[in-house]
Amino acid sequence: MAGMPNSLSDLDLKAQALPFEPAELFRTQSLLDDSQTAECSGKRIGILVVAYNAVTTLLPVLKRITPNVWRNVEEVVVFDDASQDATFELAVGVKLMRDLPKLKVLRHAQNLGYGGNQRAGYQYMMERGFDVVVLLHGDGQYAPEVLSHLYAPIVRGEAEAVFGSRMMRTYGGPLKGGMPLYKYAGNRILTALENRVLGLDLTEFHSGYRAYSLEALKRINLDNLTSDFHFDTEIIIKLKHQGMRIREVPIPTYYGGEICYVNGMKYAWNVVRALRNYRRTVGGVKAYPEFSEYWGHYALKDAPYSSHDLALRAVPGGSMVLDVGCGQGFLAERMAERGCRVTGVDALPEAERRHAMAEYHCCDLRHGLAQLQGRLREESFDHVLLLDVLEHLPEPGEVLRQTRGFLMPGGRLLVSLPNVANITARLHLLSGRWEYSDRGILDRTHLRFYTRKSGRELLEQNGWEILAEQMTVMPVAMVLGLRPESRMTRWISTVLWAGTRLLPGVLGYQMLFQARRKPTHG
């Protein structure tokens, strides 16, 4: 057992049983000394070895796990994904011949795919009450010698997820380790894109060498995630969205004779599609199953020249605002940051951003606003917002008339309505289609549809004098999954804004009206 630390007792040696055979890079005492990082500190640690057709590589991988790690982990579980070779039989033979009580071997009757195999492994660990799981590949692409470096930050309470990065230069970098140049370039391009979309600063998104806090994984819905190779990307998206702490540690790069089952172009497209689906879901465009829990009741539209962006410009800082149909309170939070005192009203029992509001009232707007009388601390407001509300109501005129009583003299009403004459709706009709969707002009919850003319008439017939009218731009950047603050979003929005000013009835997405009470209205 060349290079094994002398501090291990005979009992430790017997417990781990496999001869330690590190790779050439790790045959120096200084690199092998993981006595500190390997300590479990009372945590139950499991190693999940995902394997498919790994009969030639699995045993060397198990032999490269250091004795200190074997001593500190509770189980090393090989999940064979219905291999077509003798991977399962080899693993069972190693367990029996070497008498390894910590080695567990399981086999799926049918191939679950890379993501499906991981999901089954994490479920296994969670059901048995483990604290930490480390994902190790059975094909030898990742160095088992540094396994403890991945779980140590989680054991110390410093992170919920730790990723091994081949892009860090500690072990010479990816090209020195044999990563093909085209894979290196693709990795860097995709990682840059993912960092930009998610607001992260990782050196690599595409390493399969990972450790997770199982308590963190319990808080993430894994059910609808892909079974394909971009499962790892979807996990990162969810970790970021839910505010989990992510750390990276350097790992060496190994490329040998192992069989690669990843189609590079398909994988890249799937990664881009996962980012787009996430952005579209949280942006309120469409609820994709893998991210459906992030679908907002009423998402913030903060791209330039959107209805929320124009409303924020129209409401001065420090105003008293009644936000009718406030949803989770995302817009109210932006207004509160500018010193506004916001009272929110919506049908939700509670708003996610309740802290941003001075008051919140649960109210079924289908029955009008009379139920708010006597419940509001403030009798009147500088601004009342009816954004994306009236098209959902059976009697919008009644709400418009009742709103008059909540405005102080000189106060302004802001109303947004969808423009059914937008070019997208016209093209749908031209092609003989009228298909409802989760969001947008043809939102399936819309009861009424408006043009610029009918929108103006709605306000004027119910006691309002229109002071200003603006048309918002089509949410192309949101549909593409771009971040609102990105340069591309700003460029697209600016171009659309110029076009919308030339053809407001055709390119305008929503009408935003500013109005005041007609003094002579009876």
Give residue-wise pLDDT tens across range 157-193. Answer: 999 999 999 999 888 888 888 888 988 999 999 999 9
Distance (Å, whole) CA 208 – CA 498 = 46
Q: What pLDDT is attached to residue 173?
A: 85
Q: Name every residue whose Cβ is closer than 8 Å to that of residue 142 and which is 6 or more positions away in sequence.
A: 136, 164, 207, 208, 209, 251, 254
Rounded CA-CA distance 166/150 in Å is 13
The answer to whether 41 touches 70, Cβ cutoff 8 Å, is: no
Residue 29: what pLDDT? 65
Cβ 237 vs Cβ 198: under 8 Å: yes
Q: What are the start-end ranges of the E strands in 244-340?
A: 246-250, 320-324
Same domain, 270 and 417: no
Q: 240 in a domain, yes or no?
A: yes
Residues 409 and 283 in one domain: no
Residue 520: closest CA among 464, 439, 436, 448: 464
Tell whether 44 is covered by a domain: yes
Specify the pLDDT at position 7: 44
Smallest CA-to-CA distance from 271 within 223, 196, 180, 206 is with: 206
| Residues of the chain below pLDDT 50 | 1-8, 10-11, 13-14, 521-522
Question: Which domain range does residue 132 map to?
Answer: 20-289
219: domain CATH number? Answer: 3.90.550.10
Angle at 374 between CA 368 and CA 380, to 5 degrees: 80
CATH number reported for the structural domain that contains residue 509 in this entry:
3.40.50.150
**276 to 237, 265, 377, 445: CA distances (angstroms):** 11, 17, 43, 24
Q: Give domain status of residue 393, yes or no.
A: yes
The predicted structure's pLDDT at residue 113: 95
Over residues 392-444, the pLDDT tens digits come to: 999 999 999 999 989 999 999 999 999 999 999 999 999 999 888 877 888 88
Q: What are 64's two structure tokens?
A: 């490269």
424, 474 contact by CB (below 8 A):
yes
Residues 230 and 312 grouped into a single domain: no
- pLDDT of the residue at 370: 84
Domain identity same for 266 and 313: no
In this structure, are 313 and 246 located in the same domain? no
* DSSP annotation string for 390-406: GGG-S-HHHHHHHHGGG
Give the pLDDT confidence of 10-47 residue by residue, as tens digits.
445 445 558 899 988 888 766 678 889 999 999 999 99
pLDDT on residue 486: 78
Give every CB contact of residue 415 below 8 A, 6+ residues apart in sequence.
386, 387, 389, 390, 400, 455, 459, 512, 513, 515
| C-alpha dihedral sign at 253, 259, 261, 263 | positive
Bridge partners of residue 419, in order along the sequence: 450
What is the structure's pLDDT at 4? 41
In 350-437, the DSSP E strands lie at 359-362, 381-387, 407-418
- Per-residue DSSP letter, 26: G
Return the CA Rg of the chain. 29
Same domain? 56 vs 148: yes
Asked if residue 464 is part of any domain, the answer here is: yes
In this prediction the pTM is 0.75
Decide if 226 is inside a domain.
yes
Helix (H) or strand (E) holding 120: helix 113-127
